Chains A and B, each alone.
Chain A
């Protein structure tokens, strides 16, 4: 006799892609996700959304992995190549192609920069360090450097290498490196402690800086003891602000509490101590940071891998398994703890391989669900794909691609951030900037709406004389009206019109005095639509 739940499981067990080849880490990760949710949805009595269409999935992975929509021709080729639907192998080829292309490096450079040192795009002084930091990230991503090495390198960075060189634009780093992590925090131990735990332990200790953490068990003195790992950092302030030369006294293992802070315990200096209360074994002459880094990335610290997995999960699925992604704590438990643990194990077993993890997640059934659902299942069940408003840079790059306006943006030129402010991209990013923590929390402002409706970028794009995409769609001799509609839809929404849309829009264009004008209005509408401005 079969129990009712087991019967459910039999019916719902994954039909395709569940079987991982031995040694295929990415497929194993996808299988872990699939197996987990078959059970989780059955237990909750939730029916997941239908699978997304191939076009929707194709657009989704382009946005999530490379930060821009696919070209119209790429969508067309993908769909044409798989008339009966893309199978797992076809999808895998797409994901691997994207992860091995330049779009992945450019996009994830921005993703990691914003996660590790958000100050670089928010603070004028810190922005000087941006080119060097991005160059370091790009190299790490190009090599697909294991995540533990990447963290270790950041936390043990040789600080003297941050020497400033005079350039026509002011002082800049002489060598590309991770030092911006330190300079952006003005080398303050308390800020570095908070930044480190937030980035790699998913823990927000900031509150404990001034008082015992109100919602968690962290105590003020524990916080300052942890900060003492960064207590030897100094900068040569002769050159002022955050631009001074960095140095580290490696013998400084005790931190003097700054005079404006009074600890409740009354102590005025604290030794470097791990958050679990144990004392590090410090090697004379070596930075206390190296002891911290080794402890952080040690396999026994499973939090390190879980935080990384959760961060990438949050990026792809619109919310973390722990959500927000950097708020691990007793009072904010994961929605799927076993899943997170298993994925973290697999991530460690893969050698902290970020591309393998991304491939596995992107090929999972849950990631491939439609964003439409007739009821509204709770978001933490991941039973439908959420609607994620595009971040500013992704929206801009997608607009450029959709309108054929693409102007090469060379992130390797290390341009002066003040000069970059002048260009159209920077202006757009300024208008569309939103620092919301969760992708789904991004909100549209009035100025953003005005910019898309009336601004020059969209106006040019729908102007026959100035827009490449629009001119091509209108003038290509081999296109009939259906073909023109297809071209505009594929360029913007990465899909063909639905049959009802096609019928109505054909009637609309047919009824117009001026077909070009009617199509321009349609193109304007597509560029202003939520379907274009979101990942869904």
Chain B
């Protein structure tokens, strides 16, 4: 039987089975990439486990709590950070340090939820993580370039502490992150393919023309079933399939192919899961994805609460900074080089660590005073907000709540923090708590 007669039979079926086929599927499978400059996107560098503020952005070299690290000068006169972030020190004029996050949760699960949603856990409301809420707003903007990729992509998250802190909550799965590389180990050991989308390619023998045929059959079944069934669930299902099929097309799938990047650039980012994840983040932002997050869960991957340095804090933080600093620095430069300098890059974890050093040479959980950093678009570079006392134990100036931080993040991303969504309890909930005070002084 020839291909032609098979095709005719298929077309006869398509024509008869209740009318129009689902628009967009077939042409999109073959569509090519568009090269447009997107409006502002956000990259969140998530430090799983809670990084030590004294050993990163709030050094206390003249106090016994300061530990063994030196403080170094930065591109901003009068501002010092800890010694193992030399690359970021040179680029601090593009960044704002928030030194006084002060939050009420000291447990990984609860604190992760609070930091990532802006709301405390418990109770009936399933708050979305800010990536979901912000990407929803950014993707809906009329000036946002059309993309075949989803609005929120999470690279190598470690979600065990609290899966809900990485979800879209009451916004529903439509706004949930597309997760890639979860549990990814060493990207070199796995042939560099660790950061790919699961199930993106059809199984062997089911791709190409065969997939086209299947989709054509499916689209006829779908239109036939949808006739006289005006349910929103069916529209939502169709939309998800359309988006998935568009992603299966070469252009979107290619976004995840790091082999297209020069070896020298891959080296600069660092051949760690986190370094390659940052490179992937740039590729995704370049293709119009509004919100990408990359988690640093360990030096070589496989670890979990990387920054949870209850023992041997200094050795662990030095190792992690060795991965973080080149990746982050290269990311800022690479974004600038490609005209994407307006991208907002955010660095944070779920809490800080005790200024006092425990007998194991470690630091424990400390939510009373900790750091976050924002760089790039929307930010007044070189600013430092808030201060802690000599020992790092107390906030002496400008405490920043999780809600304040959430509102600041929204504002810096160009999103109104007071926009609301209907929640699962039937009550509208704003992106950030209405009582929050955004940190205006760092907003450009």
CA distance A241 to B238 in the complex (A): 43
Q: For window 413-453 of chain A, which residues contact chain B by CB distance below 8 Å?
A: 434-437, 440-451, 453
With A194-B124, A327-B425: A453-B199 Cβ-Cβ less than 8 Å: yes
Question: Looking at the complex, which of A33-41, A222-230, A502-510 is the stretch in contact with chain B?
Answer: A502-510
Complex Cα distance, B127 from A206, in Å, reads: 14
Min CB distance, A119 to chain B, in Å?
10
Q: Do A443 and B150 touch across chains, with their CB atoms under 8 A apart? A: no
A124 located at the interface, meaning its Cβ lies under 8 Å from any Cβ of chain B in the complex? yes
B217-249 interface code vs A (CB 8 A; 1 in, 0 out): 110011001111111111011111101110110
Contacts of B222 in A (CB 8 A): 529-530
Query: Is A401 interfacial (CB-CB < 8 Å)?
Result: no
Interface size on A, residues (CB 8 A): 69
Whether B150 lies near A435 (C-beta < 8 A) is no
Residue B123 contacts which of A194, A454, A517, A531 (CB distance < 8 angstroms)?
A194
A440 touching B233 in the complex, CB below 8 Å, given contacts A434-B172, A446-B243 = yes
CA separation between A140 and B123, bound complex, in Å? Answer: 27
- Report how far A21 CA is from B307 CA in the complex, Å: 70
B124 A206 Cβ-Cβ under 8 A: yes
Interface residues of B in 26-58 (CB under 8 A from A): none
A389-B237 contact, Cβ under 8 Å, with A376-B230, A450-B244, A530-B222: yes
User: Would B424 and A505 count as touching, CB distance under 8 A?
Assistant: no
A443 to B229, CA, bound (A): 16
A303 an interface residue at 8 Å Cβ cutoff? no
Q: Does B93 contact A (CB under 8 A)?
A: no
Q: Is the CB of B237 within 8 A of A191?
A: no
* B 66-104 to A, binary, CB cutoff 8 A, 1 in contact else 0: 000000000000000000000000000000000000000
- Whether the pair B426, A324 counts as a contact (CB closer than 8 A) is yes
The stretch of B173-181, B184-192, B396-404 in contact with A is: B173-181
Nearest Cβ distance between residue A387 and chain B, in whole angstroms? Answer: 4
The dominant DSSP class at the B interface is: helix
Q: Which of B120-164 contact A (CB under 8 A)?
A: 122-126, 150, 160, 163-164
Q: Judge whether A443 and B173 touch: CB under 8 Å.
A: yes
Beyond A500-B16, A507-B9, A513-B6, whether A447 also contacts B233 by CB under 8 A is no
A520 to chain B, nearest CB (A): 9
- Report B-chain residues with C-beta under 8 Å of the C-beta of A130: none
Q: CB-CB < 8 A to A386: which residues of B?
A: 231
**Residue pair B214, A122 in contact (C-beta under 8 Å):** no
B contact residues around A266 at 8 Å (CB) = none
Task: Name the one of A122, A444, A530 contacting B164, with C-beta atoms under 8 angstroms.
Answer: A122
B198-A124 in contact (CB<8A): no
Decide yes or no: A445 and B122 within 8 Å by CB, A508-B9, A508-B13, A521-B213 being known contacts: no
Cβ of B20 < 8 Å from any Cβ of A? Answer: no
Cβ contact within 8 Å between B241 and A449: yes
**Are A521 and B236 in touch, CB under 8 angstroms?**
no
**Complex Cα gap A372–B225 (Å):** 9
The answer to whether A451 and B425 have CB atoms under 8 Å apart is no
23 A-B pairs, CB-CB below 8 angstroms? A122-B164, A206-B125, A207-B427, A332-B426, A372-B228, A435-B126, A437-B424, A440-B233, A443-B173, A443-B240, A449-B243, A450-B198, A453-B202, A453-B245, A500-B17, A505-B13, A508-B9, A508-B13, A511-B6, A528-B241, A530-B234, A531-B221, A531-B225
Q: Contacts A376-B230, A454-B202 given; 6 further ones with Cβ under 8 A?
A: A206-B125, A332-B426, A372-B228, A447-B197, A510-B9, A521-B214
B residues adjacent to A (C-beta < 8 A): 1, 5-6, 8-10, 12-13, 16-17, 109, 122-126, 150, 160, 163-164, 172-174, 176, 178-179, 197-203, 206, 210, 213-214, 217-218, 221-222, 225-234, 236-241, 243-245, 247-248, 424-427
**Interface of A with B (CB < 8 Å)?**
122-125, 191, 194, 198, 204, 206-207, 209, 214-215, 324, 327, 332, 371-374, 376, 386-389, 434-437, 440-451, 453-456, 459, 500-501, 504-505, 507-508, 510-513, 517, 521-522, 524-526, 528-531, 533-534, 536
